[in-house]
Copies of this chain bind each other. A is one copy, B any other.
Amino acid sequence: MEKVFASIITIGDELLIGQVVDTNSAWIAQELNKNGISLKHRVAVGDVWDDIWAALDEESKHASLVIITGGLGPTADDITKPLLCKYFGGKMVVDQPTLEHVTKIFNRLNRPMIERNAKQAEVPDVCTVLKNERGTAPGMQFKKDGTIFISLPGVPHEMKWIMENQFIPQIPGLFKTGFIEHRTLLTYGIGESFLADLIRDIEESLPEHIKLAYLPNYGIVRLRLTSFGVDKKLQEEEIDQYFQSLKERVKAFLVTDEDIPMELFIAKLLKEKNETLSTAESCTGGNIARMITAHAGSSAYYKGTVVSYDNDVKRNVLHVKDETLRLTGAVSEETVTQMAGSVREIMQTDYSVAVSGIMGPGGGSEEKPVGLVWMAVANKDRVVTKQFQFRYDRARNIEMTSYNALNLLRIFINENR
């Protein structure tokens, strides 16, 4: 076994001026990890010949695998393909299967194909083509001084398709990888520092090849153990033993010992009992619904939401009493209680969640400042409510409200079991 290190080079001015957030790297990192490869370095450079060249030199010094994304589109600001051709000492040739594939795409779209499009089928003669079923720009694989280089388009779904179908299956043949094992648990209701004190002796007892990391976010702290080694079975037994100790120690704060987001944990609880959920959102504007429905299969337990951004909708669709809105306002315990009750009846679900708050930057008052949120969770027997006062910007207030509403639901469901 050798410890296999990889590096990602992301190419494109759009990343350096901040017009685009790089989501590709996180996905690639996860996939490499699953396949026993550690990402050591990630670099982003602009569409600048010398910078790309220098990055290829620099990253290949420390990595056995260099993954390059971006810079393969059909327009003139792309210099990546000619650069790769020169870097690896080849000349451009037409790849016949790619040309047929590009032609087929244009025929299907019923669009004329112009020279620029045909050029996408040109590749350096020193690469192996990685077929791209999702688009016109093919992936390319090179080898130089023992390092494997792959170049992929930056469009996420194209990049993913090529990785999954063309490159990842090659990994066992290309590298002698070890195994990387992760175990992750989620805690709620305890700060990072207190958690560290609580598990100090376990952390100190960890062997060199097992690392512990704290990942706090949204009031949740995720604890992650990572083990590197050669013997998958031994390694699993060992990490499971430490993981078990951790779980027992943090029991009072444990949400789940699976590395899944809160909304999938709730999905699991609901599916166990064949139960259903609906939501009524005001200040989160549909974000809770979006989080839940981002996952395939959510229609089995989730029926829908009413986003009542306007008070008329609270009155007319969610039947919040006019008197309540007048006397206690839209952001109040009474309002969210009525919202939760109504949506549960309207959508005929076992559980419902309702939120109403002031996300800012405007709309606050002395009595009801920005960041004030009321939320309610209901089933047929009871309703619980909770008030929060967040102190963040709009985007984070929305996220914190969404996560905390899901967490309140989690606690509520567990109390019913």
* CB-defined contacts of A302 to chain B, threshold 8 Å: 309-310
Interface residues of A in 188-244 (CB under 8 A from B): 191-197, 203, 211-216, 222, 224, 226
Q: Known contacts A20-B215, A33-B18, A305-B305: does B347 contact A192 (CB below 8 Å)? A: no
From residue A262, how far is it (CB to closest CB) to chain B in Å? 15
Query: Please, how many residues of chain A have a CB less than 8 angstroms from a CB on the other chain?
Result: 106
Find out whether the CB atom of B74 lies under 8 angstroms from the CB atom of A192: yes
A362 to B294, CA, bound (A): 13
Q: Pick out which of these stretches binds chain B: A8-16, A86-94, A123-131, A167-175.
A: A8-16
User: What is the predominant secondary structure among interface residues of chain A facing chain B?
Assistant: mixed
B304 touches A116 (CB 8 A): no
Q: Contact at B347–A317, with CB atoms within 8 Å?
A: yes
Q: At the interface, yes or no: A28 with Cβ under 8 Å from chain B?
A: yes
Report the stretch among A246-254, A280-288, A376-384 that lies at the interface.
A280-288
In the assembled complex, A326 has its CB within 8 A of some CB on chain B: no
B396 touches A157 (CB 8 A): yes
Residues of B within 8 A of A226 (CB): 13, 17
Residue of B at shortest CB range from A283? B293
A271 within 8 A of B: no
Given the known A-B contacts A44-B42, A156-B396, A362-B297, are A17 and B215 also in contact in the complex, defined by CB atoms under 8 Å?
no
A37: min CB distance to chain B, Å:
11
- What residues on B are CB-neighbors of A100 within 8 Å? none
A1: CB under 8 A from chain B? no
Q: Is residue A289 contacting chain B, with contact meaning CB distance below 8 A?
A: yes
On whether the beta carbons of B303 and A309 are closer than 8 Å, the reply is yes
Q: Would you call B305 and A310 a contact (CB within 8 A)?
A: no
Within 8 A of B (CB), among A25-45: 25-31, 33, 38-45
Of all chain B residues, which has the CB nearest A78?
A: B214
Contacts of A316 in B (CB 8 A): 346-348
Closest to A19 in B: B215
Output the least CB separation between A31 and chain B (Å).
8
Question: A285 and B289: CB pair below 8 A?
Answer: yes
Measured between beta carbons, the chain B residues less than 8 angstroms from A23 are 21
Name 9 A/B residue pairs within 8 A (Cβ), A-sorted: A14-B213, A21-B23, A41-B51, A75-B196, A76-B196, A76-B203, A304-B308, A304-B310, A306-B307
